[in-house]
Amino acid sequence: MSSLIMIIVTCALINNVVLNQFLGICSFVGVSNNLKASASLGGAVIFVLTIASAVASILYTFILKPFNLDYMKTIVFILVIAALVQIVEMFLKKTSPGLYRALGIYLPLITTNCAVLGVALTNVQDEYNFIQSVFAGFGTAVGYTIAIVMLAGIRARINESDIPAPFRGAPVVLLSAALMSIAFMGFGGLS
C-alpha cells in the first residue's frame, strides 16, 4: 500500500507531468487563462487518465505482450485513447448530464493531450502492473490539475498587473511556469 501512495506522490509532485516532464504543456498554457475552465479540465483529465491507464495496461498485458506486438503500442494506445474519450463523452451525456455539462467541452481536448499517451507509455516502460498503472495515471492527473489550477490563479493576477510589453502573452506565462517548476524541484527531496 505504501508503495502505491509513493507512486501517487511521485507522479503528482516529484515528477510533475507538466512542470518536470513537459507533457500537456499545450493545454497548460492554452486553457489556464480561466480558473474555472482549468479546474474543469483538470477534473476531465483525472477522469480520462485514470481510465486510459487502466485500459492501456489491460491491452498491453493481455494482447500486445503475449502476441509480441510491442512495437504496435504507440498506434494502439493513441487509437484506444481517442475512442475512449468518445465513449466517455457519450456515456456521460446519457448517464450524468450534470457532470457532462461540467466536463463536456474539455473531453475532446484531452485526446491530443500528450500527457495521456505519455502516461500510458511510461507505465509500460516502468513495467507497472494493472493496479500500479491506475495509481500512476491518477497521480499524474492530480499533478496536472494542481499545476494548471495554480497557473490559472497566477495568471489571474498577471492580467491585473502592468508588465513590460515584450513579455505580454506567452513569455510571462512561461516565466511563471519556470518559477513554479523551480518550486516543484523542492519536492525532489521527498523521493
Partner 1 sequence: MNKYTERIYNGIVKENPTFVLMLGMCPTLAVSTAAINGIGMGISTTAVLILSNVVISALRKVIPDEVRLPAYIVIVATLVTITELVIEAYLPALYSALGIYIPLIVVNCIILGRAEAYANKNTVPLAAFDGIGMGIGFTVALTVIGFIRELLGAGTAFGVQILPASVEPIGIFIKAPGAFLVLAIIVAVLNAFGVKNRSRELVSGCDGCCATCSKMTADCGKEGSK
Candidates 1-9, 44-52, 94-102, 111-119; binding stretch for partner 1 (CB under 8 A): 111-119
Candidate list 92, 110, 136, 150; residue touching partner 1; CB under 8 A: 110
Write down the least CB distance from residue 53 to partner 1, Å: 15
For residue 103, the tally of other CB atoms under 10 A from its CB is 23
Residue 186 interacts with partner 1 (CB under 8 A): yes or no: no
Residue 12 interacts with partner 1 (CB under 8 A): yes or no: no
Residue 153 interacts with partner 1 (CB under 8 A): yes or no: no
Candidate list 10, 27, 38, 50; residue touching partner 1; CB under 8 A: 27
Measured from the CB atom, the residue of 5 and 26 that comes closer to partner 1 is 26
Distances (CA, A) of 122 to 3, 36, 55, 61: 17, 30, 14, 14
Secondary structure (H, E, C), the chain: CHHHHHHHHHHHHHCCCCCCCCCCHHHHHHHCCCHHHHHHHHHHHHHHHHHHHHHHHHHHHHHHCCCCCHHHHHHHHHHHHHHHHHHHHHHHHHHCHHHHHHHHHHHHHHHCCHHHHHHHHHHHHCCCCHHHHHHHHHHHHHHHHHHHHHHHHHHHHHCCCCCCHHHCCHHHHHHHHHHHHHHHHHHHHHC
Measured from the CB atom, the residue of 97 and 108 that comes closer to partner 1 is 108
Candidates 54-62, 140-148, 154-162, 181-189; binding stretch for partner 1 (CB under 8 A): 181-189
Candidate list 12, 13, 31, 150; residue touching partner 1; CB under 8 A: 31
Candidate list 5, 58, 63, 72; residue touching partner 1; CB under 8 A: 72
Site for partner 1, rule CB under 8 A: 19-27, 29-31, 71-75, 78-79, 82, 108-114, 117-118, 121-122, 125, 165-175, 177-179, 181-182, 185
